[in-house]
Every structure is written in structure tokens, then in C-alpha cells.
Amino acid sequence: MEWDETEMQRRALLAGAAGMLALAVTPFAMAKAPNGGVKSLIGNASDGALDKLAQPGAFYADKAVRILLPGAGGKMASKLFGMGDKLGLTTNLTRSLNDAGGKAAGEAKPVFRAAIDGLRWSDAPALVTKKDGATRYLQTSAGDVLFTKVSPLVGSALQNVGAFRQLDDLSKGNSLLASAGLTHDGLTKSVTEQALKGIFQYMAGEEAALRKNPANLLKGIF
């Protein structure tokens, strides 16, 4: 089917108008009904991020969110482990930390959903104007709550993947490791902090992608 020049111009104008409408309506709609709209947005972004990071090897595969041993990005720990590091044992432990982060992410959906439901989403203008505004607001407003709730998930995951056992084997006879945060509690705290940082980073990307898609306006996200 061939279109004449007038029809092509008309369709181009309609497409341009639709794009402008999406840019204009998205923040307007969020401002008019922020609670339902933003909860839907950030809930979907949260689910998407957690689904991706729960995939086997996802944390370790992405250097931007890879979970490292405590202490200067793992460098201090590597020095303290000495021969264990040269034999590649700390690499195995690092992989276990990332496996634990992924397992915790797979169990964290209800935790994030509860935190999302517990916030007043009408309080922050940045929710409307920033492409990752809802993620930022969740991180600053509920970050401590999420840490408290996610930490036990991480601790259980570290136990299940054998990370604590590996740490204990590497720590025998080395009294300096505790000062670098290389204890069960220290490792749990470090992995939880890093896992949450990675989750929020992925959430920001998911939120930005959802905002860019005008079709979401029709689905009721906003």
C-alpha cells in the first residue's frame, strides 16, 4: 500500500504529537495521582531488577554491581589471606558472595513491596522530574528498613552457599582478618550493603526504561 505525500505528512505529525504527549502527560499524570502511579512504577522496577539479579551468576557477571570482599574493594582481604589468595581461594569465596547476593535478591520481592507500600509517595517532587526519582526516594527513605529486612536473607544465603565455611577455612591462624571486617557478621553486613547498592542501580535503570515507554501510559502505570 502506497501513501501520497499528504498522508505521510499527516502520519508524521500524529507520531510527533504522540511523542510530545507522552513527554507532557507522564509527569502530569504522576503529579495528579502519585501514590497509585508511582507505586506501580517503582513496584514494577523493583520486580524487574530483582528478577534480573536473581539469575545465577548475575551479580558476578556485571562488574558494576559485583560483590567484593570487605576492605578496599577486596584488596585488603586479598593481602591478609596471603597464600589463600595466590591459590585462587578468595576468588571462589568472592563468587560465593555473589551467589548469596543473587539468592537474597530472589527472596526479596515481598520485602521491597512492603517498603514501597509503606511510604508516602506524594512527598517528593523529584518523583516526577527525575528519570530515577522513585528509586532515589525509596533508597533514601527506606534504605535502613530494607537493610534490616534483607540482611537476614543475605546471612542465610551466605550460609547456604558455603561462604561462611570458606571464610573460616581461610581465616585459620590469621588474627588480623576480623579487623578487615572478615567475620560472619562483617561479611553479612558488607554483602547486604553491596547487594542493595546493586539492586538500586538496576532499579534505576528499570524505572528509566518504564518512563520512556509511552505504552505504559495506556497500561495504567501512571
- Per the domain annotation, does 172 fall within a domain? yes
- Per the domain annotation, does 12 fall within a domain? no
Amino acid, res. 85: D
Distance CA(30)–CA(14), nearest Å, equals 24
**HSE-up (13 A, CA, CB side) for residue 114:** 10
- Per the domain annotation, does 192 fall within a domain? yes
Which is nearest to 189 in space by CA: 154, 141, 143, 145?
Answer: 154
- Per the domain annotation, does 128 fall within a domain? yes
Query: Domains in the chain: how many in total?
Result: 1
- Per the domain annotation, does 70 fall within a domain? yes
Which is nearest to 171 in space by CA: 70, 82, 71, 75?
Answer: 82
What pLDDT shows up at residue 14?
Answer: 45
What pLDDT shows up at residue 127?
Answer: 72
Distance CA(187)–CA(156), nearest Å, equals 12
What pLDDT shows up at residue 215?
Answer: 64
- Per the domain annotation, does 24 fall within a domain? no
- Per the domain annotation, does 17 fall within a domain? no
- Per the domain annotation, does 185 fall within a domain? yes
| Domain range enclosing 104 | 33-219
Distance CA(198)–CA(29), nearest Å, equals 29
Q: pLDDT tens digits for the chain (222 residues)?
A: 455 555 555 554 444 444 443 444 344 444 444 456 788 889 999 999 999 999 999 999 999 999 998 864 555 555 555 544 444 557 788 999 999 999 999 999 999 999 999 988 776 666 767 889 899 999 999 999 999 999 999 999 999 999 999 888 877 766 666 666 678 998 999 999 999 999 999 999 999 999 887 666 445 444
What pLDDT shows up at residue 122?
Answer: 72
